[in-house]
Structure 1
Amino acid sequence: MSKHAITILFLVVTTIITAQNKTCNCLEELDNISELIKNAASYKIQVKKQNRETELEAWKSQIVKEIENDTLKDYFCVGYLQKFASFIKDRHNEIYWRPDDIPTHVPMYTKTLDTRLVQNDGVSGIYHMGSDKIYVNKESDGVWYGITLSSNNENWTEGSIRLKIQQTPQGNYELFEFYQNGILFYQNNIKIQDGRIHGTFWNTSNQYFFNKNHKNNFNYESLGPTVDYIGIKTLKRTRSLMKEAEQFYEENLPKLTHQNLIIDLRNNGGGATKQADDLLKYIRKNTDIQHIYVLINFKTGSAAELTALALKKDPRTKIAGENSRGMLEYGYGNKSFSGKTDCAGINAVFSTEHVDKKYSPYEIKGITPDIELGNNADWIEQLLQTN
């Protein structure tokens, strides 16, 4: 690997975001979010109803200390707001801000790097996500920065910090990641294993067997004499999609005559479980099918997860892949709560519906597959080999 020398000074900043000529302080925005989150259905159930206000206030005090001790707090502020909100186990609660000028709102690295000197710590290394390449380098004890080496996106120049990984006192990892559009997201308890930052696309081998971009919203294919395949991209209940689903099921459900059926829900962010009702009803009555495999990945969420669990009730079903997103216990109902912080206008979207407490074990953690599939070969091929 060639040597990448990056010597760029940190920008000296004193504000998180300048919005409408206002200077917005991260601690003030934390106060704003701590008030807004009281509108979430999950806050009322997990905090108010259980008398955990004191615990939440202590958690907030911890976040305050972390913000004060972070020299890059103005860049990672939204991530700290998300970390505060993570006290409540509800993936439908979202806090985000979209910068109008990405380069001025992301930090630049300050030291010289040599990508030939990768530390053997299980985290450091060169990671890929499509055309983007970063060098994850250990900055200090328990802190790593993911520094841009190259990108087809002109907003991400060499030296810009794409992500920060921190190790918690409990030994877990947490992630602050800038998406390519500049939006910052926080994740706790992430797993870094086999050359991949799980819960993301970043991996050292530049392979994406865990990913699936379905060509159509509903897909059918015969994969040989013993396997049928159905891939569902979305479960959204728009009129056009409902009509498309109805037509797809009418044309393709009678084709499910083989002993093995793969139902691919990778990257399916949900919608409404009713979109899968016809599929579930048909499968229950189908005696030709002996084995059902449901593929899920870290982007399988909400109604798609509920559909996977509904399929799991059938004793013929095994779930395969990796842990899903973990968006089951709460929802937006007829309408989510939406608000913005007073200063910077950081967006807050919170749940308004408690779907069912029985889904609590899956919230945030996601559904754990019966068959775990790695990023070393095509997932469908791996499944067929287990047959």
Structure 2
Amino acid sequence: MKKTILLILVIMIFGTAKGQVSRSQADLSLLHQSVLKLPSFKEQVKDNSKLNFNLGRDFVFDGDETSFQVFMKLCGLISPIRDNHLSFYSITDSTLTAPSSFEMSKSKIDSAVSAADSSDPILGTYYAGKYTVQLVKIDGLYHGVMESEDRFLLQFILQPTTPNHFDIIRFGRNATSYRLDRNVVFINQRLSGTGWSKYNSRSFVELPFEMPTYDFKTINEDISYLRLGSFATNNKTIALSDEFFGTIKSKELKRHLIVDLRNNGGGGYKTSKKFLDFVRRFKGQVHLLVNNYTVSNAEQFTIDLKDSKNVTIYGETTRGTIAYGSNMGVRIQMPSKRFAFYITDMKSRAKDLPYESYGIDPTINLDPFKVDWVEQVIEHIKKK
């Protein structure tokens, strides 16, 4: 009788494991097929050996993996592609449990801190308002952990992609949901795209909340200022941009024009083209002001102007989320219904791809902590 019960248990366990493998393989197959159809994959596969996936060698499942472990393995199909508009995430489900690494012991974190490479600038303590996280390196990956009653809770994981650029795995409430987002950047002592920084004081990189989306003003007898805060292509922003453009298109500009693209999250040429043509027609000196929150079509705007002889770029390196993008907003749900893949469907302009996951460097770097960045640009103009 005992042998019969034991045999039944073995069969049940084997059957469960086999079912788990089959479920994960089905997810792998659909995700792989979806990746192969991406314009970004097709454009990059010839020049990137990491995109020659060996599914039978690098994506093997044994049935013992948690959903999170399967998720992390599947991310390996996405991470080698320089396409930062992609996203992959878990679908909130009561059957999903937090990864075993979500809660870490104090001794484990203390050990990681003690073993930290002092030459690695990304490691250390980060702040966001009243909250702090400790960034430590465990098993080759950066873990952002928050202390709570002598235990540490995992907030995010960073996977290196290009120098100082990372994929980030973010965790939802109790870590029962998680998502892969692309292209967090370590720049000027902060993790741009997360809200976490190594300083707990004001930085002039960030814009005041009261800044209008669009603005124009004369600073002095030599300098005009143009604020372009969004190129979004929704009806409201297009209407707002058209109304604003109508007020400036005939204005007399001074010899120097500061074009402020900081925190411009992009959009499309349906909104930006009129401003691009306006700046191109200007015969004086153009001073583009950018930061790491200058993204997508705002970066294309910068690329379109950067090689003009009358253009100087100030600030810090832009994000490097430029190429591809999504017209249709398609989400593909995996067969197991545990995960979904947000795809891109737009081709890249050839001149944009070199900056994807690297960003556009400024001609002149500005100090994040000295004084307001517009004032710093004005000081540089006065020196010319």
Deviation, structure 1 residue 178: 1.7
- Aligned residue for 1:160, secondary structure, equals strand
Q: Contact 2:87 / 2:179 at 8 angstroms: preserved in 1?
A: no
- Kindly indicate whether residue 274 of structure 2 is the aligned counterpart of residue 295 of structure 1: no
Taking structure 1 as the reference length, the TM-score comes to 0.72
2:190 to 167, 186, 196: 196
Deviations 1:1-40 (CA, angstroms, capped at 9, x unpaired): xxxxxxxxxxxxxxxxxxxxx9997666444321221231
Taking structure 2 as the reference length, the TM-score comes to 0.73
1:81 to 74, 79, 93: 74
RMSD: 4.0
Deviation, structure 1 residue 184: 3.0
Call closer, same or farther: CA 1:79–1:256 in 2, change over 3 Å.
farther
Call closer, same or farther: CA 1:298–1:76 in 2, change over 3 Å.
farther
Partner of 2:323 in structure 1?
329
Call closer, same or farther: CA 1:364–1:255 in 2, change over 3 Å.
same
In 2, Cα distance between equivalents of 1:31 and 1:222: 58
Call closer, same or farther: CA 1:248–1:202 in 2, change over 3 Å.
same
Call closer, same or farther: CA 1:231–1:74 in 2, change over 3 Å.
farther
Partner of 2:374 in structure 1?
380
Deviation, structure 1 residue 203: 1.4
Q: Contact 2:334 / 2:340 at 8 angstroms: preserved in 1?
A: yes
Larger helix fraction of residues: 2
Partner of 2:9 in structure 1?
none
2:275 to 272, 275, 279: 279
- Aligned residue for 1:357, secondary structure, equals coil
Deviation, structure 1 residue 135: 1.5
Partner of 1:185 in structure 2?
180
In 1, Cα distance between equivalents of 2:56 and 2:130: 38
- Listed as ranges, the matches of 1:1-387 within 5 Å are 29-47=27-45, 50=46, 55-58=51-54, 61-62=57-58, 64=59, 74-75=67-68, 78=71, 80-97=73-90, 99=92, 105=98, 107-112=102-107, 120-121=118-119, 122-139=121-138, 142-149=140-147, 159-165=152-158, 174-178=166-170, 183-187=178-182, 192=186, 195-198=189-192, 200-206=194-200, 207-212=202-207, 213=209, 215-255=211-251, 257-287=253-283, 289-290=284-285, 292-333=286-327, 335-377=328-370, 378-387=372-381
- Aligned residue for 1:159, secondary structure, equals strand
Whichever residue aligns with residue 125 of structure 1, its letter is G
Deviation, structure 1 residue 192: 4.3
Call closer, same or farther: CA 1:352–1:164 in 2, change over 3 Å.
closer
Deviates more, 1:51-60 or 1:118-127: 51-60
Equivalent residues, number: 346
In 2, Cα distance between equivalents of 1:194 and 1:239: 35
Whichever residue aligns with residue 367 of structure 1, its letter is I
In 1, Cα distance between equivalents of 2:69 and 2:212: 37
Call closer, same or farther: CA 1:304–1:110 in 2, change over 3 Å.
same
Call closer, same or farther: CA 1:177–1:298 in 2, change over 3 Å.
farther
Taking only the aligned residue pairs, the percentage that are identical comes to: 22
In 2, Cα distance between equivalents of 1:171 and 1:261: 33
Partner of 2:15 in structure 1?
none
Q: Contact 1:177 / 1:186 at 8 angstroms: preserved in 2?
A: yes
In 2, Cα distance between equivalents of 1:79 and 1:374: 38
Q: Contact 2:266 / 2:297 at 8 angstroms: preserved in 1?
A: yes
Deviations 1:96-136 (CA, angstroms, capped at 9, x unpaired): 336478x9646122224679x78644333210134432112
Deviates more, 1:172-181 or 1:323-332: 172-181
In 2, Cα distance between equivalents of 1:144 and 1:87: 18
Higher CA-based Rg: 2
Deviations 1:342-364 (CA, angstroms, capped at 9, x unpaired): 11342222222324223221222
Q: Which runs of 5+ in 2 are unaligned?
A: 1-19
